[in-house]
Each structure stands twice: as C-alpha cells, then as structure tokens.
Amino acid sequence: MSKKKMLVSNKTLVKFAVVSVLLTSIVFLVQSISENEDLLSDFVLVYYTNFEDAEKVDDRHLSFPVGHYFNFDGRLENNTWVRGGEGARFWVENSIAHSGSRCIGMELFNITKSLRNEFVIYDVHEQLGDEIFVSAWFYLPADWMLYGPDGLRWYSLMVFFREYDNNYLPYMCLHISQPKIDVPEFSVYVFWRKIDNSKEVISHVSNFSLPRGRWFPVQYYLKRDPTAGILKVWMDGKLICDKSAIETKVQNEYYISIAKIYHEPYDNVPHQLWVDDIELRKRSES
Ligand SMILES: [Ca+2]
C-alpha cells in the first residue's frame, strides 16, 4: 500500500473510531437521561428553590422553609479535632447563577479552623419518607483541583443520606479524587461507610470528565431499606452508580448534605463551590 493510501486509510480508521466513540457516548447519555426521566414520573416534587429570593438569616441559616443548617465544625487543637466554625462561610451569590441571577456560594478558607462546609437538610424521613429523588446544580471554579499528598486527594461533594445515631452511621456519599498532583484528571466514586464502620466503594468511574467552570447537575434516586436499598446517581447526565440490594437504613430519621466542601486537612488551599436549583422529591403514593 502506498504511503498516501495508508494515510487515507488511517485517517478513515481514526474518523470511524471517533464517530463510534461519539455514538456510544450519545446512546449512553440518552439511555441515562431517559431512564432518569422514567423514574422521575413516579415522584412528586415536594420542594424546589432557585434561591432567587433567598436571604441570609444568620451565619448558619437561610430563609429556606426546609429544616437545614450550614455546618462548619471541626478545628485542629493539639492535634485533635474539636468543634470550630471560623474557617468557612456561605453567602447569597448574585454574580453567577444556574437559574436567574442568584445562587448560594460556599467557601472553606481555613482548614485549621473548620474541617468542613456542609449544607445540611435534616428531618428528611419526616418530610420525604424513604424513597427520594434529589437534584441539585453545582459550579466548581475553572481551575478547581485537589491538593495534598498521594492517596489523600479526595473530596466529598454530597452526602446522599446519613443517619444520626451510631456515630452518624451508615452513610453514602459522592467523592471526587485526583490521582496525580497538579494534573486535572479526576475519578468519581460512591463511598459507603457501613453501620459497623467498615468502608466500601460501591461504584467508581475513572477519568471522569469533571465539569469545571460550568454548571452541572447531580441527581440521585435513593430507596432506604435494611437490605433491599437502591442508589442510582447521575452526574452531569451520566449514570455513575446503579446499585441495588444494599443496606441503606437502620433508623428512620436521616439527613442529606446537599452540597459539601470536605477533604483531607492536608489540603489547605481554600475551596469554593456554588449550588443552585435544589429539588426534593418523594415517591408518589399510588
Ligand atoms: Ca438561581
């Protein structure tokens, strides 16, 4: 084969490969979204906010009719974490938004004074029951990255459920990790801390195209059950977790961290996060 023909043939192969990958991605995306929409038809919207008329009531609360607070706890004192709260803040943002002109901005700016910045919604069982569909939109800065040593560059963005008793176990949450320092390549996974305090990663997606510098949704369906629990999670329209027959309930009451800045204390670079358009749904009674 001549060099020219080989070049054409290689180009055709590359084009074919690119088209195949694109088509596979589109089919996957359409499947993910249609499954999500099928599921949504079984749920009723209990609460939605676009934060357009949100006001800050105090350092930990918004004008938000659902039971909530911002948790900035955890401070390092003599190598021991104690209650703190001076290293994080939230505000009503009016310069960027997913909907309208306002959203909520969150920042963890001093890891020695606050271990976390966590937007908590509580009494969820009372308000929504044990089958919920939750959606929120997030914005991470365009240069968002994780810092700290190898193996400890992880970040918790959202907690799907967490119980109060037994030292806040069990819980499941959405983690982002960054395998290489200074390289913006990310993995996403669902982390499960069980009632006996053991850990399990129940789904893991490597090389996830993490949206930075643009808004993206995270949606999840959770069925709480002592043995037959279900968790499905979509991030930026992609199904990243689909697990059933999992233990997702011990006690009735639980809370959700709808948006969270939480990472290892070795990462002492300030982190910011914006959240908008929160939807809380419960299973419709048929
Ligand atoms: Ca808004």
Spacing, Cα 117 to ligand 1 middle (Å)? 20
- Collapsing DSSP states into helix, strand and coil, what is residue 14? helix
Which amino acid type is present at position 265? P
Spacing, Cα 9 to ligand 1 middle (Å)? 50
Spacing, Cα 217 to ligand 1 middle (Å)? 13
Check residue 165 and give its pLDDT. 85
Spacing, Cα 139 to ligand 1 middle (Å)? 12
Check residue 34 and give its pLDDT. 64
Q: How far apart, in Å, are the Cα atoms of 174 and each of 60, 140, 188, 201, 241? A: 23, 15, 7, 10, 10
The b/e string for 191-223 (b: 16+ C-beta within 10 A; e otherwise) is bbbebeeeeeeebebeebebbeeebbbbbbbbb
Residues 276 and 215 sit within 8 Å (Cβ to Cβ): yes
Which run of H or of E encompasses 168?
Answer: helix 165-168
Check residue 65 and give its pLDDT. 86
| pLDDT tens-digit series, residues 112-138 | 899 999 999 999 999 999 999 999 999
Check residue 7 and give its pLDDT. 46
| pLDDT tens-digit series, residues 197-233 | 999 999 999 999 999 999 999 999 999 999 999 999 9
Spacing, Cα 278 to ligand 1 middle (Å)? 9
Spacing, Cα 119 to ligand 1 middle (Å)? 16
Check residue 235 and give its pLDDT. 98
Q: What is the pLDDT along the chain (286 residues), one digit of tens a residue?
A: 444 454 445 666 556 665 665 555 555 555 555 667 788 889 999 999 999 999 999 999 999 889 999 999 987 777 777 777 899 999 999 999 999 999 999 999 999 899 999 999 999 999 999 999 999 999 999 999 999 899 999 999 999 999 998 888 999 999 999 999 999 999 999 999 999 999 999 999 999 999 999 999 999 999 999 999 999 999 999 999 999 999 999 999 999 999 999 999 899 999 999 999 999 999 998 6
Residues 87 and 112 sit within 8 Å (Cβ to Cβ): yes
Spacing, Cα 123 to ligand 1 middle (Å)? 24
Q: Which chain residues have CB less than 5 Å from ligand 1, an ion? A: 50-51, 97, 99-100, 102-103, 276
Check residue 19 and give its pLDDT. 62
The dotted CATH code for 44-283 is: 2.60.120.200
Check residue 174 and give its pLDDT. 98
Spacing, Cα 103 to ligand 1 middle (Å)? 5
DSSP assignment string, 48-91: EE--TT--EEETTEES-SSSEEEE---EEETTEEE---TTEEEE
Check residue 74 and give its pLDDT. 85
